[in-house]
Amino acid sequence: MDALVRLLSNFIRTVAIRLPDDVLSALKELSSKESSYWGKAVYSLMFDNINLALEKGVPVCQDTGVLMFFIDVGTNFPYVNKLYDALKVATIKATEEVPLRPNVVEPFDEKNTGNNVGTRLPWIEWNIVPEADYVEITLYLAGGGTSLTGNAKVLPPASGFKGVIEFVLDVVSSYGLNACPPFLLGVGIGATVETAALLSKRALLRPIGSINPNPKAASLERILYEKVCGLEIGPQGLGGSTTVLGVNVEYSARHPATLAVGVSTGCWAHRRGVIKIKSDLTYELPLYKGVVL
Ligand code: SF4
């Protein structure tokens, strides 16, 4: 248990202080394309911020968010029974040691728990992988500003994808500024409001630059990308040609009478990391080349 907690708290630390490789590459590419004076200045500050965080071992943004774990666990992973407790203890340990900002507030008490653990937080989504002996954990640190953009709605199917695009653009043009652009836009399409919302969050977990394998969903990603870029929100909302890190669409089948759409954003400091832990507690960090915990 101690070894597992140590591994997980070190993983949380890495996610808080270091942007994953795909986010860094996307930021570098966007900064080379941005031509506005203020946009260039913002990117320069972002890279100073990223380097200072690494040098000093502190979080890349002061808002370290609420912790959300998306877990694919094998039925033969030997520590499956201990995982839930280990994640909670690791969250408390990382909050003290990194430190992470205590962000968990009990809504009916208006009380901050002080350790990033509270009712149903950290949020944990479980997926069972039959016969596998590993666990793959994706951690997303959901900051307040970037979560303020979140929205979901059930449209009548007659609205079609025109309605989906209008809804997404309405949300992004109204609230996208809170998500410290350039943001990653996640769109979920499904049967009900909560599944579409969850799919939009899962869309943020996909690598930046990845394309939905369904050509029609990929086409929606392209259309939304162009339209959101056309808003010219720019880095930190100061105007410019680079507004999004990417657009990822995830979907499920829907009910004949519903076309639900969810919107989530991930800010420029998109702290989403993956760790794959094997049964002997050796691990891989696919999004952090060369990093050892
Ligand atoms: S939106 Fe992201 S970068 Fe901006 S304050 Fe929130 S967590 Fe930090």
> What residue's CA is closest to ligand 1, atom 6?
145
Select from 140, 183, 267, 270 the residue to mutate for testing ligand 1; criterion: most ligand atoms less than 8 Å from CB: 267
> What residue's CA is closest to ligand 1, atom 7?
143
pTM for this model (two decimals): 0.96
Q: Note the pLDDT of residue 131.
A: 96
What's the pLDDT tens digit per position in 58-117? 999 999 999 999 999 999 999 999 999 999 999 999 999 999 999 999 999 999 999 999
Look at the block and give the residue holding tokens 């989504």.
125
Token pair for residue 282?
Answer: 């050796």
Distance in angstroms (rounded) separating the CA atoms of residues 183 and 276: 26
What's the pLDDT tens digit per position in 108-145? 999 999 999 999 999 999 999 999 999 999 999 999 99
Look at the block and give the residue holding tokens 């808003």.
231
Handedness of CA 19, 21, 23, 27 (dihedral sign): positive
Q: Note the pLDDT of residue 171.
A: 97
Look at the block and give the residue holding tokens 């205590």.
102
Q: Provide the 3-class DSSP secondary structure of residue 104.
A: coil
Distance in angstroms (rounded) separating the CA atoms of residues 127 and 2: 24
User: How far separated are the first and last CA of the chain, in Å rounded?
Assistant: 17
What the chain holds in terms of domains, given with CATH numbers, is 2-15+60-143+271-284 (3.30.1330), 145-266 (no CATH)
Q: Note the pLDDT of residue 2.
A: 95
What's the pLDDT tens digit per position in 248-283? 999 999 999 999 999 999 999 999 999 999 999 999
